[in-house]
Amino acid sequence: MTRTFAALAALAVLATCAVPALAQRGANDAAPANRTEVKGTWNIDPKLSQVNFVVQHMVVNRVRGKFTAFDGSISADPANLAKSTVTFTVKTASVDTGNTGRDDHLRNADFFDAPKYPDMTFASTKVVRKGDSYIATGNLSMHGVTKAVTFPFTVNGPVKGQQGEMRAGMSAKFPISRKAYGLTWNRIIEGTGVAVGDTVDIELDLVFVKAK
């Protein structure tokens, strides 16, 4: 259950990081003249960022969780998209659902198998602009499986922070299938159905700081 969202979370994290400066624009998609471009290197601020997930549990409720250890960066070159990159890594052992027993289960071989697969990663391969938002495509790797994923995201900023630093924000929500990454553990609960749903909803709210 957790593995799926984690990878996406990892993934999600990266692809969503692709900022307006990375987006491919058509003749009608030019950025507003008064909008500052996101270019150069930007790093995730983990203190202000969130990598969350939601999954169906025993039919009757949805369990919410998060990952507390992650890192990522954007290298944006608006003049040459081929040189622009987005990378993101999430530590699977950092999963936190507020329940110690459940978190230990998510870390073992039934789910993330954190000792064997400590990282979930995402690397973007394409970012395109669609109206006021963007669509990211990239490779999400989790539990020894790598698959291409595509999801929409929005970008806020950049703006100047209290210490004079430049900051930009990104938000994304999208579903992934945990079974697609080999996370197939489940249990039939009499009278209700399966213990854990297949679809994991990833929710990303990330803050990036421009490197000096």
Report the pLDDT value the prediction gives residue 61, as an integer from 0 to 100: 63
Where is average pLDDT lowest: 10-19, 31-40, 80-89, 184-193? Answer: 10-19
In the CATH scheme, what is the homologous superfamily, with its name and number, of domain 2-210? Lipid/polyisoprenoid-binding, YceI-like (2.40.128.110)
Q: Which residue has the higher pLDDT, 191 or 71?
A: 71
CB burial of residue 77 (10 Å; 0-12, 13-18, 19+): middle
Reported as a single tens digit per residue, the pLDDT across 107-159 is 999 888 999 999 999 998 988 777 777 788 899 999 999 999 998 888 887 89
What is the structure's pLDDT at 166? Answer: 94
Report the SS3 class of residue 69: coil
Domain residues of the chain, as ranges?
Answer: 2-210
Checking if the pLDDT of 187 tops 80, the result is: no
Whether 78 has a pLDDT exceeding 90, the answer reads no
E strands, the chain, are: 40-44, 50-57, 61-67, 70-76, 85-91, 95-96, 119-130, 133-142, 145-160, 166-177, 188-189, 193-194, 196-210
- Residue 58's pLDDT is what? 56
User: Which H or E run contains 118?
Assistant: none
How far CA 175 is from CA of 7, 26, 64, in Å, comes to 11, 28, 14
Side-chain half-sphere CA neighbours of 210 within 13 A: 19
The tokens for 83 are 């040189």
131 Cβ partners below 8 Å, 6+ apart? none
Report residue 192 as tokens.
């209700």
15-30 core/surface letters (b: 16 or more CB in 10 A; e: else): bbbbbbbbbeeeeeee
Q: Which residues contact 135 (CB under 8 A, 6 or more apart)?
A: 127, 128, 129, 150, 151, 152, 153
Rounded Cα–Cα distance for residues 154 and 146 (Å): 24
User: Which has the closest alpha carbon to 209: 161, 172, 154?
Assistant: 161
For the chain, what is the mean pLDDT?
77
Average the pLDDT over 55-72 and give the result: 81
| Tokens representing residue 76 in the block | 């944006």
User: 193 with 59: CB under 8 angstroms?
Assistant: yes
